[in-house]
Amino acid sequence: MKLMANGTVTIPKKLTKGEELLVVPRKTFEEFLRWQKRREWEEKDTDEAIRVFEKELRGGKLKKLKSLAGLR
């Protein structure tokens, strides 16, 4: 076993029959889960925005400007 400075323990593959395991404090794990959930939400939100953009582009609802003067 190897103890890391941040309180993480690594259990060698020999003891776990092939896969290295990690032991972390509960607080660290819960922070990771919150981060992962937020990241998944942001990814879904971005995917939805891209779908809407592509749909409106195909439907002709978006205009392409050659310059900012075209906004008037």
**Per-residue pLDDT tens for 1-60?**
565 666 777 787 888 778 777 788 889 899 999 999 999 989 999 999 999 999 998 988
For residue 36, what pLDDT is reported? 93
Alpha-carbon distances, residue 15 vs 3, 24, 66 (angstroms): 15, 17, 65
| pTM exceeding 0.75 | no
For residue 30, what pLDDT is reported? 94
Place of tokens 């409106």: 56
For residue 37, what pLDDT is reported? 92
